[in-house]
Amino acid sequence: MLRFIGGLIRPYRGTLIIIFAAMLVETLMSLAAPWPLKIILDNVVGDKKMQPWLHDLLRPMLEHGNRLHVALIAAGLYVAIAALGALASYIDNYFTESAGQWVAHDLRMRVYNHLQQLSLGYYSTHQTGPILSTLTSDISTIQSFASSSTLDILVDMLTIVSMLVLMFWLNWDFTLIALAVTPFLLLFVSRFKKSVKAATKEVRKEQSAIVATVQQGLESMQVVKAFGQEKAEEEMLAAVSQATVAAALKARSVKALLSPVVTVVVAGCTAVVLWRGAALILAGTMTVGSLTVYLAYLSRFFKPVKDLATTTNAIAQVTVGVERVREILDTDAMIPEKEDALEPALLTGEIAFENVAFGYAADEPILTDVSFRIKPGEFVGIVGPTGAGKSTVVSLIPRFYDVNKGIVTVDGVDVRDYKLKNLRDQIGYVLQDTVLFHGTILENIAFGNPHASREEIIAAAKLANADEFIAKMPMGYDTPVGERGSTLSGGQRQRIGIARVMVRNSPILLLDEPTAALDSESEKLVIEALETLMKGRTVIAIAHRLTTIRDANQIIVIADGVVAEDGSHAELLQKGGIYAELYRTQFDTGEKAAVS
Ligand code: ADP
């Protein structure tokens, strides 16, 4: 874990050195802070002769040993120490914050970049909520830790060591008393660390369940309302929210124990030191000033010990955060791209499947042996029973998934040999329901081709039969559509989807039942738009309503994982197989419906 965080902060070495230097100065100043008081107690109020080195140091400022003058110098030193410490603390905080923010930015981009490259398979098995919560909460935990806590640990160690040296120098047997409890304290702290980590992990898990529940509920608000499930949704959130509270309370019981235990232990040590110190002062073997410095150090000595304990809490949290981030970064569900992948300018659109086998899960084959060939510019229909794998066949062409066996070629080249972006740029996709983004209509159409000009977009919308309704909207092409395009009708969304593919101008067009969800009136407009779009392209259309593919050059019937039939509409009807049966069913029910 430390190596992971080390890697994250490496680019900010320079800043870290500044922060570290500032922390050192802060530490030195906190070590020096009780010394002016010692000078006043011992050399001004008390009668002790100044140590020769201190006397030499201050000599230029001393006027014939005037005691008040010494007090003034000590008071001045006090301010100087505080001011220098404050300046160092400012520099420390300033740079810590900026390093933390940049580390978080880098990590966020790294995780998001990885998420963009993961295959669709990852998303069908992972919920969005936990991913969201990793991208936000876990990364901010790592952010605060990466910049401050790692250095805090170093500085704490240094403080402890230097205080020990000074304490031994002041009075070594006292120091032994103080040290006697330290091993027990450290033992307690490490025990504590384990339970806090376990509790923290539980809390984070429950927190991400909250995000997941809320996200899912908000996303399906329409269904929730339609089925009157608001109460159930609330109860679902209440359950996970209560689980979070329970987990957090459990973590709290452990965490709340630390500080009181340390305080009591420190008080015990301090009491012993006070009692022994008084005796030593009375015996004349220790000065009041030394005891003061000693007491100041004693209380400070345990602060870093306590801090180390708090840091273990932070470590527990960040370990969990790092684990969750790495779970994403270490997922290797990517569609691999070859080093020397091809980037042809424009494909002709010849497509072939050769003995393709594929399944989403290893033990559940969907396609067992699929072979077919499509010439450039051909219009091919794919039909078959629901769940036969029609969409699956189509999704193998842009490599949403990779085949398990056999090959898929475009223009005679295995799709795995193309650069992914290049391959997908050559493909236009119209699905059963077009997903629109929160943004203007213009932006939504430009999603198909970010380089398209406003004129090109309008021309595409005209060809897609969309210009008419867009022009009637309050702000025309600059009208914002609601999230997921909820302000538009299904037919309008489809026509925007077609315009989007129109501006893409790709040689291959994949249609996955684009008219299935439409009423016959919008269907007519959409089909008209599709016919314009299809001109001069290789088209593969999955069709439910067989009338839409009657004119196809070739119809492929997928059933039981293979190409069951293959031919033109007339040929397949004559053959009297699955297609003829499907066609007859649709035709018959149509006729019956008309009769009744
Ligand atoms: P069709 O388009 O012919 O109706 P699909 O290609 O959508 O069929 O689905 C074929 C089979 O694969 C179905 O049994 C479906 O449940 C399964 N399937 C589809 N998509 C996924 C996925 N992302 N993960 C797992 N199984 C899937």
Average pLDDT of the chain to the nearest whole number: 85
Residue 125 Cβ inside 6 Å of ligand 1? The answer reads: no
From the alpha carbon of 512, which atom of ligand 1 is closest? 2
Q: Coil, strand, or helix at residue 447?
A: coil
Mean pLDDT of 58-72: 70
On the question of pLDDT at 416 being above 70, the answer is yes
Q: How confident is the model at residue 309 (pLDDT cuts 50, 70, 90)?
A: low
Would you say 413 and 387 are in contact if contact means Cβ atoms under 8 Å apart?
no
> Among 60-64, 457-461, 569-573, which is the least confidently predicted range?
60-64
User: The domain 2-192+257-329: what is its CATH number?
Assistant: 1.20.1560.10
Q: In the block, which residue shows the tokens 């899912």?
A: 216
On the question of pLDDT at 394 being above 90, the answer is yes
Q: How confident is the model at residue 484 (pLDDT cuts 50, 70, 90)?
A: low
Residue 213 Cβ inside 6 Å of ligand 1? The answer reads: no
Q: Pick from 351, 353, 343, 350: which is nearest to 425 by CA? A: 343
Buried b (16+ CB within 10 A) or exposed e, 346-367: ebbbbbbbbebbbbeeeeebbb
Say if strands 508-512 and 538-542 run parallel, antiparallel, or are unpaired. Answer: parallel
Tell me what pLDDT residue 594 has. Answer: 38
pLDDT (tens digit per residue) in 246-262? 988 888 887 788 778 87
Report how far residue 557's alpha carbon sits from residue 477's, in angstroms, rounded to the nearest whole number: 40
Mean pLDDT of 151-178: 79
Mean pLDDT of 333-357: 88
307 vs 114: which has the higher pLDDT? 114
109 vs 592: which has the higher pLDDT? 109
Would you say 309 and 255 are in contact if contact means Cβ atoms under 8 Å apart?
no
Would you say 401 and 358 are in contact if contact means Cβ atoms under 8 Å apart?
yes
Residue 387 Cβ inside 6 Å of ligand 1? The answer reads: yes
Distances (CA, A) of 101 to 9, 97, 131, 144, 535: 11, 6, 20, 8, 51
454 vs 159: which has the higher pLDDT? 454
What is the second-level CATH architecture of the domain 433-505?
3-Layer(aba) Sandwich (3.40)
Tell me what pLDDT residue 596 has. Answer: 32
387 CA to centre of ligand 1 in angstroms: 6
The two tokens of residue 152 are 């805090």
According to DSSP, the residues that pair with 29 across neighbouring strands are: none
Name the residue of 119, 363, 390, 391 whose CB sits within 8 Å of the most ligand 1 atoms, as the mutation to test its pocket. 391
Tell me what pLDDT residue 378 has. Answer: 93
On the question of pLDDT at 347 being above 50, the answer is yes
> Among 53-57, 390-394, 451-455, which is the least confidently predicted range?
53-57
On the question of pLDDT at 387 being above 70, the answer is yes
Buried b (16+ CB within 10 A) or exposed e, 87-105: ebbebbeebbeebbebbbe
Protein residue closest via CA to atom 21 of ligand 1: 360
Q: How confident is the model at residue 566 (pLDDT cuts 50, 70, 90)?
A: very high
On the question of pLDDT at 562 being above 60, the answer is yes
According to DSSP, the residues that pair with 155 across neighbouring strands are: none
Q: How confident is the model at residue 483 (pLDDT cuts 50, 70, 90)?
A: low
Mean pLDDT of 402-421: 93
On the question of pLDDT at 393 being above 90, the answer is yes
Q: Pick from 291, 215, 203: which is nearest to 243 by CA? A: 203
Residue 384 Cβ inside 6 Å of ligand 1? The answer reads: yes
Residue 392 Cβ inside 6 Å of ligand 1? The answer reads: yes
Q: How confident is the model at residue 178 (pLDDT cuts 50, 70, 90)?
A: low
386 CA to centre of ligand 1 in angstroms: 9
Protein residue closest via CA to atom 24 of ligand 1: 360
502 vs 589: which has the higher pLDDT? 502
Residue 123 Cβ inside 6 Å of ligand 1? The answer reads: no
392 CA to centre of ligand 1 in angstroms: 6
Mean pLDDT of 500-510: 91
> Among 131-135, 578-582, 592-596, which is the least confidently predicted range?
592-596
> Among 46-60, 143-157, 450-464, which is the least confidently predicted range?
46-60
Please give the share of the chain, as a percent, with pLDDT higher than 90: 27
Mean pLDDT of 285-304: 82
> Among 172-176, 489-493, 527-531, 553-557, which is the least confidently predicted range?
172-176
Tell me what pLDDT residue 540 has. Answer: 94
Tell me what pLDDT residue 65 has. Answer: 61
CB burial of residue 139 (10 Å; 0-12, 13-18, 19+): buried
Residue 275 Cβ inside 6 Å of ligand 1? The answer reads: no
CB burial of residue 302 (10 Å; 0-12, 13-18, 19+): buried
The two tokens of residue 268 are 């015990």
Q: How confident is the model at residue 593 (pLDDT cuts 50, 70, 90)?
A: very low
Residue 390 Cβ inside 6 Å of ligand 1? The answer reads: yes
Tell me what pLDDT residue 128 has. Answer: 83
Protein residue closest via CA to atom 17 of ligand 1: 387
The two tokens of residue 491 are 């037919």
Protein residue closest via CA to atom 5 of ligand 1: 389
On the question of pLDDT at 573 being above 50, the answer is yes
